[in-house]
Amino acid sequence: MTEPRRRKAEKEPENLSDKDVDVDDKAGLEVDGEPDLKPDSDIPDVPPSNDSTPEVFNKALSGLSSRWKNWWIRGILSLAMISFFFLIIYLGPIVLMLVVLYVQIKCFHEIITIGYRVYHSYELPWFRTLSWYILLCVNYFFYGETVADYFGGLVRREVPLQFLVRYHRFISFAMYLAGFCMFVLSLVKKHYRLQFYMFGWTHVTLLIIVTQSHLVIQNLFEGMIWFIVPISIVICNDIMAYLFGFFFGRTPLIKLSPKKTWEGFIGGFFATVVFGFLFSYALSRYNYFVCPVEYSSETNSFIVDCDPSVLFHLQEYTLPPVLQSILGWDTVHLYPFQIHSIALSTFASLIGPFGGFFASGFKRAFKIKDFADTIPGHGGIMDRFDCQYLMATFVHVYITSFIRGPNPSKVLQQLLVLQPEQQLHIYNILKSYLTEKGALQPAINEQ
């Protein structure tokens, strides 16, 4: 430290805590013209994560170096997680939605726990309860919107659900207001600033985790292929970038993640595009994966059966002259979804990793290696889903911008909720419109 900085430190106390100032008057204000903020070096250390590696792995791999030991542990656990992923796909949409909800809650818990530890906020009155209550309110809002949109048959049959759907947003807002008032009433002198830190921490966590988890479920209802392919290509990119970096990596990619290399980044990109293209071809052949997920009020279950859209019918494409000379083919037959898979794979490979870099910056800011120690060799659940949430948002935006058109079944569900006189009014308008367009013949008594 230079001499002028030493004199300044001696004259002006820095990093005043909430106990060192009269928080009624000075909390959040500047001290001697300088913001009352803590530099990164003064952030409290979070207790390091425990080594959760099973003892059987430690014994079996005891003769290997730490580098190769970590390689084998990550590999074995990755295969186990991939197998579990295919198992829940086999179990169907309901299980998938429950798994998404579990992952969301676990990620929320991991980030909130870091906040508690960093800011030593365990003693704050009611705050742990309030954090989970606000999570409940936000999930009630989002899942209620899903029920209203996709479970029209069930809503029409159950009178209590009709009331809840009709006033859903008002009920959600009232629930949140109750939590907001409880937070204000829980404010305690000498802890104001810390309580608002944690209030903001909770809401930013909700924005990152819960809203994007809701988009994952929205993608699922468009067809399981929009759920499976994006998740799979992110997994593929993560694995292939790790393998290329492990065996060929020499050039550092970004300071936030010193182990990331350009070789891994580029190798992962090409491998992911090829994998996404071939994997999309395999899934596009089956209605189970390509049809929208719909709820059947007759069977009280989800059905995945339809006449596939044009995205999932083979089309003939003429190859560019350069590829014709290389491959010797003039045309190829592809599913249009395979073309879209290239866009998805490109995003997962080039932009998706920035979700991981963001998470790395977050962990460095708070001096932690992983979000948790849930998965040996991988860290916490959030360590595995940092890129997945960003990918889910992109897929949702991509579908709404380039894929989705009007959904007749969804319009019909909304019409059936209307009163009979409203339905009749819409019927007459539609009849007149179709008659003018020549789609319907005029009635005899109108001629």
pLDDT over threshold 50, residue 88:
yes
> pLDDT value at position 82?
83
Q: How many helices (H) and strands (E) does the chain have?
A: 19, 6
pLDDT over threshold 70, residue 14:
no
What are the residues whose beta carbons fall under 8 Å from the beta carbon of 387, sequence distance 6 or more? 234, 237, 238, 348, 352, 353, 355, 356
| Of 48 and 242, the one with more pLDDT | 242
- On the 0-12 / 13-18 / 19+ scale of CB atoms within 10 A, 219 is buried
Query: Lowest mean pLDDT: which of 7-16, 144-153, 208-217, 417-426?
Result: 7-16
Q: Model confidence over 35-78: pLDDT tens digits? A: 444 444 445 555 555 555 566 656 666 667 777 777 777 778 77
Which of 126-135, 145-154, 222-231, 365-374: highest mean pLDDT?
A: 222-231
- Secondary structure in 3-state letters for 274-342: HHHHHHHHHHCCCHHHHCCCEEECCCCEEECCCCCCHHHCCEEEECCHHHHHHHCCCEEEECHHHHHHH
Do 350 and 344 meet the contact criterion of CB atoms below 8 Å apart?
no
- On the 0-12 / 13-18 / 19+ scale of CB atoms within 10 A, 368 is buried
Q: Report d(CA 276, CA 232) in Å as an integer.
A: 8
What percent of the chain clears pLDDT 70, i.e. is strictly above it? 80
Q: What's at 365, amino acid-wise?
A: A
> pLDDT value at position 8?
40
pLDDT over threshold 80, residue 123:
no
What are the residues whose beta carbons fall under 8 Å from the beta carbon of 23, sequence distance 6 or more? 189, 190, 191, 192, 193
What the block records as the tokens of 402 is: 């380039």
**How far is the CA of 91 from the CAs of 85, 235, 281, 383, 384, in angstroms?**
10, 20, 22, 25, 22
Q: Model confidence over 381-402: pLDDT tens digits? A: 888 888 999 999 999 999 999 9
What the block records as the tokens of 13 is: 């106390």
Q: What's the half-sphere exposure (Cβ side, CA atoms, 13 Å) at 163? A: 2
> pLDDT value at position 405?
67
Q: Model confidence over 260-292: pLDDT tens digits? A: 899 999 999 999 999 999 999 999 999 999 998
| Of 47 and 212, the one with more pLDDT | 212
Q: Residues for the chain: how many in total?
A: 447
The whole-model pTM stands at 0.78
State the average pLDDT over residues 92-117: 89
Q: Model confidence over 398-420: pLDDT tens digits? A: 999 998 766 676 677 678 778 88
Do 417 and 426 meet the contact criterion of CB atoms below 8 Å apart?
no
Query: Lowest mean pLDDT: which of 14-18, 135-139, 431-435, 437-441?
Result: 14-18
| Of 230 and 254, the one with more pLDDT | 230
Q: How far is CA 385 from the centre of its chain?
A: 7
pLDDT over threshold 60, residue 4:
no
Beta bridge partners of 375: 379
> pLDDT value at position 46?
53
| Of 271 and 296, the one with more pLDDT | 271
Q: Which of 138, 132, 209 is nearest to 386 (CA)?
A: 209
pLDDT over threshold 90, residue 340:
yes
- On the 0-12 / 13-18 / 19+ scale of CB atoms within 10 A, 143 is middle
Q: Count CB atoms within 10 A of the CB of residue 424.
A: 11
What percent of the chain clears pLDDT 90, i.e. is strictly above it? 36
pLDDT over threshold 50, residue 13:
no
